[in-house]
Amino acid sequence: MSHKFINEIIAGETINDIYLVKEPILRSTTKGDLYIAMYICDRSGQLNCRMWQATESAYNQLPKPGFVHVQGRSELYQNNLQIVINHFTVVNTDKVCLDDFLARTDKDTGKMFEEIKKILAGIKNQHLKMLIGEFLADNDLMEKFRNAPAAIKLHHNYLGGLLEHTNNMLKVATAILPLYPKVQADLVLAGIFLHDIAKTEELSYDIAFAYTDSGQLIGHIAKSFLMINQKAESLIAKGTPIDKMVLDALGHIILSHHGQYEFGSPKLPATAEAFMVNYIDDLDAKIGQVTVATENETSDSDWTAWQNALQTRLYRKRIE
């Protein structure tokens, strides 16, 4: 039996298939009855899911995350599609086709990586060139860089997403940098390449996309900053130290690239290069979110459901 993908489900269907379950939480209703709230997912998306009249025993059986065979129904709740589970059975990972559950970029990862290396080869500052070379020569890290998602939920949340996001940003930068000749292009390009490099350590993506313990405790901004300084230390050991002003300027881009304190940046942008990386990052992330939301809307409406991350509904009708 072929898999029924999340984006194919409509309201009023009987559900009888295997899905990845994430973030199950045991809750109680106002009457004190237990229920389980969770997400069921596959590579096409995820849906809110409820199991009413649940028990602690049932909750403890659920993998966190893992695969379950779900029997239930789909329904609309407050105009949003959700799944109500009547019964589930835990399924071993070796019994499922992981390609059905881990979304992957539809772009050529080898081509994108070559494009990134070609753009970075144009960096003229010798200190930045040496530092970038240390990262590119780290084969294990570059393998992770080519495969990691860029996020769990918000944008480019699929295998190869980090590579695609970085490639998009570098292309945007090369297109607009000629318009701003006073902006130091080498710093922008190096900053883009390294701004999310620690997503390779912050996120795990073997069965499902999740945060590692280290990712939760430290986060990719601080970890990227640390990785840059570790590579700089490696260059010192080889007798080729990186100029401290270069390291500070690059480090500032990393520490400020989310743009605001409330978005997790330890510093606010204070250089033209930091502002440019922040805005290019935000642009690519936002367009990614909008594109996915408008394409994955399941209703026939010209408007999507409310997008909490964007704080708006999105208009879907195209002008031909």
| Domains of the chain as residue ranges with CATH | 6-100 (2.40.50.140), 109-292 (no CATH)
Q: Are 172 and 284 in contact (CB under 8 A)?
A: yes
Q: Are 70 and 83 in contact (CB under 8 A)?
A: yes
Question: Tens of pLDDT along 259-315?
Answer: 999 998 999 999 999 999 999 999 999 998 898 888 777 677 889 888 888 889 989
Cα dihedral 171→172→175→177 (10° resolution): -110
Question: Per-residue pLDDT averaged across 163-183, rounded?
Answer: 97
Residue whose entry in the numeric block shows the structure tokens 């701003």: 180
What CA–CA distance (Å, rounded) separates 18 from 136? 39
Q: Are 93 and 207 in contact (CB under 8 A)?
A: yes
Question: Tens of pLDDT along 30-52?
Answer: 888 999 999 998 888 788 999 99
CA distances from 109 to 18, 38, 159, 172, 185 (A): 29, 32, 10, 18, 25
Q: Are 183 and 273 in contact (CB under 8 A)?
A: yes
What CA–CA distance (Å, rounded) separates 283 from 94? 39
What CA–CA distance (Å, rounded) separates 40 from 291? 22
DSSP string, 53-108: S--HHHHHHS-SSEEEEEEEEEEEETTEEEEEEEEEEEE-GGGS-GGGTS-B-SS-
Q: Which distant-in-sequence residues (6+ apart) come within 8 Å of 278 by Cβ? A: 256, 257, 258, 259, 269
Q: Are 79 and 41 in contact (CB under 8 A)?
A: no
Q: Which of 99-103, 205-209, 267-271 has the lowest mean pLDDT?
A: 205-209
Read off the pTM. Answer: 0.80
